[in-house]
Structure 1
């Protein structure tokens, strides 16, 4: 049975490094895993007043419906002001509501932060992990995935270099082991 893994990219930019890295990770999944990319840029800001019968934005409901049956989640995030982008935080909020009906609950997670900076989005990575604890998402601890200097790890066509891909393979392999232990 194919395990469907949700891919959430926190950067909305067309030429996003995070999007490129996410696609590289998707290519590394084993045959019995499938990457399912969910769009978060179209989600209206969460407002509890709208989370009532007859008022729920269609984008929220579509996101929740797409997320609910998925088996795990890979998050890819840049760092904005030592935290995650607002669109990513909004997606967490939309998916976690209404209270007691979180679409995130129990899904094994991986956090990858990607940045041209030297510390690789360390602040965003840890800030996101704090939210995932509350959302009851067991998260792969090791290896940590801070991808710094990403602009130096890609060729002129935007492809991730082979040595870096080897590291990505290690991360994906550890996630698969982690996922399988949790789901056994």
Structure 2
């Protein structure tokens, strides 16, 4: 397992980091998000989805356990994977996860599971685990240098234009966040996550 730790200054940079991560993703990838309420899990997923080019309207799936956001053929990433957004908070066992039939969509989608630790690891041989920690009163000046443009199809996409006004209302607060990313399994061997920004720490 390889691990990286990044610091973002608030929801904007959290989404920027997610946008850069999206460029490394492909159909079949599994991402498990953890963190307390308000840590930025849905805000992160919004940035991921915008960069993947899926249908807008990503909100917390709390009352609908699974939301599928199809790729937009008229968007900036036509032909990319769909995004499946899951809230596993009320799913206590792997059996309950199996009941929502994620295997049906995983091969064609990037699957993001909030509250998925110890619940969905059996779904794939490889996964990314990302813990978001909101550091109340932290130093935003120390945030990592996350690139502010995104290269897509040889064109420079301004991320501010992609993400302006897209934050989850329950998580939109200008506080620094630490994102701890663990890359597990053969899919992620040799992948350099420093392209997301300057990591604070790395572990191999």
The TM-score, its normalising length taken from structure 2, stands at 0.36
Structure 1 length-normalised TM: 0.39
Normalized per residue, the structure richer in strand is 2
Relative to total residues, which structure has the larger helix share, 1 or 2? 1
